[in-house]
Structure 1
């Protein structure tokens, strides 16, 4: 230990109070011990630390060894043992016991006081350092858990990439060089597959198709999506449907390009999927697939039977609301929920046949993506054969309260609620028209509706003369 060279000159005369202040300032805990190791005085750097040890009164007159944990007593005894040859001050980790019996880590050093064998114990509270170390351990464990999850996710997506039936390429967005190609893409390019990484995407297609592919990538990069394009491979001239999307990795933008052969789509369906298509075709419930604007693409035999059609050609390309819904707005409600939620279950409505027939149906629908375009699938179940009385009112009319009361216990609650809502809505509209002297603008304002919404409801319930729509 290197001491002051001229302490008497540099420090000047120090009285006991000044020495006590220096000792207290130099440590979080300072103990003054006699030659027997008994605590004669002590100081804490702050009141909170003093409360942890129940104040100074509980330590005065006790041996320092008695105030530490059992595992620290040999260290304290070694520090207090007389050793004339000892020159350097050695810091030791000691666990001091608090008033509640908890161990508080303290880094201690003993220095002789120079009077009658007394010594001073300097202690530094290690809890902030311990808490910092604990936080570092927790952060490290959290990072390891996150890293493990990332590795698992990478493994899953790598497996999906490798097992995809469609040829997929990953491109660098800046130079459009192929970074990776999945096994399906390697099979598509055959003997030239090994030379794929490092090539630009333009080299893959014939010159006359490269502009369309570049436009596709530019639209995807700026707008996030674009319509698929058809291009021909430079080697072999085979036509493929090109679609693309973007994603970020390590701060860079990458393209995910999917190539599909139009002539092969659906030709090599697995046996299980082929059986599923056969089951859908002969299922007793109607099944319909439409495009994003609800125009029919295909339908099974059960739907054709409910719609009173003789062939699928009669329905293909027609809007679905030609058959579904009573008033032309129900299908719009169904489609709105379908676009927002992706799926709709058990939507009750009416199906109108081409020859005037009418069937009560429940519709479950789902939205899916096919070739980069959305389409809708509808399962339509005939519920008119169920043993329950018809609860729908004639078009443009509602039931009275007495009629609704008679139906309690004989029809489902949801049908009663729908009919009751219609009855209340019609009564409110009639009352508003009567109070305003048939002024529809005032009636709409009174009901909190727009004039157009009021006209729709007037048509629905057959109220008033709708030829003149001026309120």
Structure 2
């Protein structure tokens, strides 16, 4: 905080003031006064302004103050301070600097004044210093302080939300310092899973929780997690419970240190023999299979889908949007999701699959189902058809008219007739493309074209396309 300037009585004067000031004349005294402040007012004992010495650009309109009382040149809030300053007694050195605000056409001007009584009180000199620069700095300091307070409150709110989410999460989570491998934080779910007293895990070494046979694998796993994110979860054996535990860690940096966010999971109960067989069949089936949540983010996938996506493990793609791998952006998945919402299933939809971090597309045929409930999941069965399409002989498209044939009609038919022929040609091409895209599924083709089924059937009959497609709906 800026300290207030001291009064004249608080300062030690020259020891030999007569020698220093005996030869000073009016001109030298004027220069001293001008050097002492940015503006100087010469006042009579009643406080009326006799003369003003200042930079006219810094204090516009100050010439109009001459002949007026000092207090009429300031704001209403500052007039009491002016009256107090004018009550200085001759020879009194206890008066202090006071800040007032002058009124001007450019706005209020803050000035710090010190009034000095001269010649036994017959003349007053008010020395002023422009405080606009200090006021700007004070405003910036206040704004910076308010910004820091807002950021502090925001951080406190974020910390509260993080702590609430961390403590209430049903998934056991540990926050581990990477270098020392000591646990910094552990939520209640982790204490429950590890059968530990609340708060007893903080400060313990992570390797001390697992059996000796699993410690080397754990140390190697934690080192690998810090260098790459493509690491599969590790299964370890606990020291006390002698049971298996799966760890999935993610490395990050904070305040110059390295930390690990370790998620724990227990194998739980064993699946039934039938369920285990079914899961094994899905995992080994040649067609790709993937499960997504309500937001179309990948939950699980079999080996065939991992091969299509060029992923080394499920952890590399778990939680990522399915649209990164399946379908043309903004087209296929929206169409499939609309069919699933309306009918509960989609069958034999032609689309593409992209490899991980690649733009290469592989044509596939997709069928999907949607579960019921408040949080539905989606299951997708995907079959490659690229080889089958390459083996098919090319079939030329027999169009009733071509663009060149339409342009040849100029001069032989009116523009209205040519436009009608062009519209029919484009309409038929679009219908044939929609039918080919949806594998001759009329319901899906009508949805793509924005038509009702009845309108689509009418146009199929009009263009003689009824024999080109089946009733696959």
Sort the TM-score into its range (normalised by shorter chain): 0.5 to 0.7
1:111 to partner: Cα distance: 0.9
- Which residues of 2 match residues 317-328 of structure 1 at below 5 A? 318=304
Taking a change above 3 Å as real, the CA distance of residues 34 and 190 of structure 1, as seen in their structure-2 partners, is: same
Q: Does 2:67 match 1:41?
A: no
C-alpha distance in structure 1 between counterparts of 2:327 and 2:195, whole Å: 39
C-alpha distance in structure 2 between counterparts of 1:13 and 1:194, whole Å: 82
86, 95, 112: which one pairs with 1:89? 95
| Residues 179-228 of structure 1: per-residue CA shift (max 9 Å, x gap) | 22222211112256654222211111111211111111111222355221
1:121 to partner: Cα distance: 0.4
200, 205, 221: which one pairs with 1:200? 205
Q: Does 2:99 match 1:111?
A: no
C-alpha distance in structure 2 between counterparts of 1:88 and 1:341, whole Å: 85
Determine the structure 2 residue equivalent to 1:9.
19
- Which residues of 2 match residues 354-433 of structure 1 at below 5 A? 361=349, 380=368, 400-401=402-403, 405-409=423-427
319, 325, 332: which one pairs with 1:347? 332
208, 232, 236: which one pairs with 1:231? 236
Determine the structure 2 residue equivalent to 1:187.
192
1:319 to partner: Cα distance: 6.0
Indicate conservation of the 8 Å contact 2:117/2:125, yes or no: yes
Aligned length: 337
Indicate conservation of the 8 Å contact 2:37/2:128, yes or no: yes
| Residues 368-420 of structure 1: per-residue CA shift (max 9 Å, x gap) | 9xxxxxxxxx7759xxxxxxxxxxxx95756643697534456769969x99x
Indicate conservation of the 8 Å contact 2:327/2:351, yes or no: no
For residue 181 of structure 2, give the secondary structure of its aligned residue in structure 1. Answer: coil
103, 107, 125: which one pairs with 2:130? 125
Q: Does 2:64 match 1:58?
A: yes
| Residues 133-190 of structure 1: per-residue CA shift (max 9 Å, x gap) | 2222211221121122212222222222223232211112221112222222111122
C-alpha distance in structure 1 between counterparts of 2:327 and 2:157, whole Å: 28
Taking a change above 3 Å as real, the CA distance of residues 379 and 42 of structure 1, as seen in their structure-2 partners, is: farther
1:115 to partner: Cα distance: 7.9
Determine the structure 1 residue equivalent to 2:265.
260
1:128 to partner: Cα distance: 2.0
Q: Does 2:89 match 1:79?
A: no
C-alpha distance in structure 1 between counterparts of 2:27 and 2:303, whole Å: 101
Determine the structure 1 residue equivalent to 2:463.
none
Indicate conservation of the 8 Å contact 1:69/1:95, yes or no: yes
C-alpha distance in structure 2 between counterparts of 1:3 and 1:316, whole Å: 92
C-alpha distance in structure 2 between counterparts of 1:73 and 1:349, whole Å: 73
1:365 to partner: Cα distance: 9.6
Determine the structure 2 residue equivalent to 1:242.
247
For residue 220 of structure 2, give the secondary structure of its aligned residue in structure 1. Answer: helix
1:110 to partner: Cα distance: 0.6
Taking a change above 3 Å as real, the CA distance of residues 245 and 144 of structure 1, as seen in their structure-2 partners, is: same
When normalised by structure 2's length, the TM-score is 0.59
C-alpha distance in structure 2 between counterparts of 1:414 and 1:161, whole Å: 55
Indicate conservation of the 8 Å contact 1:344/1:366, yes or no: no
For residue 96 of structure 2, give the secondary structure of its aligned residue in structure 1. Answer: coil
For residue 262 of structure 1, give the secondary structure of its aligned residue in structure 2. Answer: coil
Q: Please, what is the CA RMSD of the aligned residues?
A: 4.5
C-alpha distance in structure 1 between counterparts of 2:432 and 2:144, whole Å: 53
For residue 81 of structure 2, give the secondary structure of its aligned residue in structure 1. Answer: helix
Determine the structure 1 residue equivalent to 2:170.
165
Taking a change above 3 Å as real, the CA distance of residues 413 and 229 of structure 1, as seen in their structure-2 partners, is: same
